[in-house]
Amino acid sequence: KAQQELDDWQACSRVSGGTLNHAKTATWICEHVWSDDHWRMRIDKSLPGTLHLEDEEGVRRPIKRLKPTEDHKILGVHITADHTWKAQTAQLREQGVAFAARVRTRKNKIKSDVWFATKSMIWASFSYPLRALTLSWENWNSIMSPVLEVCLPRPGFARNFPRVVLFGPHRYQGQGLPH
């Protein structure tokens, strides 16, 4: 059934003038098994099944198969079948560290410039992949801490400014920083 769905998807893409790039395509084949009192994912490659996709020359080739713990970058987001998000969390943290380093070295004359840049620039970079992720509070704090450490003092906030106020909506007198 999965192969038929993939074939239909590829056919629809071609009819509309698009294509599925074989080199950028990967698949996970997962099985969930009941173990004691919860479901767990089998992560071995012994599960049967291979999906095929036509390449640019029209030759059917098998799609690269990944373990559920392996990430694959899809539309700029590192996805894993087991939803651990390690690669994506690391990438977002690197973006935050780089942004904080740029802010740290700049002399801003207007205090609100840093806060505006935080909300409009780095948050814009974070918001796209976050729609596809489910991060723990600890992961999100590890991503945001380098940004907030540098960007809170510049406009006059204390580094340990209450996060409930920082992330709270404007209608409740919060700062409206999305989280």
Q: What is the pLDDT of residues 118-167, one digit of tens each?
A: 888 888 888 888 888 888 888 888 898 999 998 888 888 888 888 888 88
- pLDDT for res 46: 66
Instruction: Tell me what the pLDDT averaged over the chain comes to.
Output: 85
Q: What is the pLDDT of residues 49-106, one digit of tens each?
A: 788 888 888 888 998 888 878 888 888 888 888 778 888 899 999 999 999 999 888 8
Q: What is the pLDDT of residues 3-33, one digit of tens each?
A: 899 889 888 988 888 888 888 888 888 888 8
Please say if the pLDDT value at position 43 is more than 80: no
- Unique residue bearing structure tokens 């991060």: 135
Please say if the pLDDT value at position 178 is more than 80: no
pTM metric for this prediction: 0.73
Amino acid present at 170: H
Q: What are phi and psi of 26, to 5 degrees?
A: -145, 165
CB-based contacts of 123, cutoff 8 Å, min separation 6: 177, 178
- pLDDT for res 45: 62
Can you tell me the distance from the alpha carbon of 129 to that of 11, in angstroms, rounded to the nearest whole number? 28
